[in-house]
Amino acid sequence: MKNTLTRISVPQITSIDNALMIYYNNREIGNKEIKILFGNLSSATVSRLKKAARDKMIEADTLSYGMHKINTHIAFNAWGIDVPDLESRRKKLRELNLV
């Protein structure tokens, strides 16, 4: 079997708080959480995002417990979402009283 990676353009997250809430509240995520994370996306875009995460899950030999779900930690990594960076940004915004 040929090992290929899915390369996609990842949309901007809707908010730091949404991203952190989804990351820490869900071991696995599906279409609903992906649409909250990135905003209202087409089903094709959601499928491409999930495929990129599934490719990474296969590389990491990680199984999914839900048929239509993907591992949250691996998905965030596949999409380039840096959780420690988001936490730092949220902390700085709070220090500056901007949220």
H or E element in which residue 56 lies = helix 43-59
- Give the C-alpha separation, 95 to 58, whole Å: 40
Instruction: Read off the pLDDT band of 8 (50, 70, 90).
Output: confident
Q: Cα(64)–Cα(34) distance, rounded to whole angstroms? A: 16
Q: How confident is the model at residue 99 (pLDDT cuts 50, 70, 90)?
A: confident
Task: Please state the pTM of the whole predicted model.
Answer: 0.88
Position 2 in a domain: no
Instruction: Name the 3-class secondary structure at 5.
Output: coil
Kindly state the tokens that stand for 9: 């353009």
User: In the numeric block, which tokens belong to residue 72?
Assistant: 């949250």
Q: Does residue 64 lie in a domain region?
A: yes
6 pLDDT more than 60? no
Does residue 11 fall inside a structural domain? no
**How many domains does one find in the chain?**
1
pLDDT in tens, 72-98: 999 999 999 999 999 999 999 999 999
The parent domain of residue 24 ranges over: 16-95
Q: Are 17 and 90 in contact (CB under 8 A)?
A: yes
Tallying the residues shown for the chain, one arrives at 99
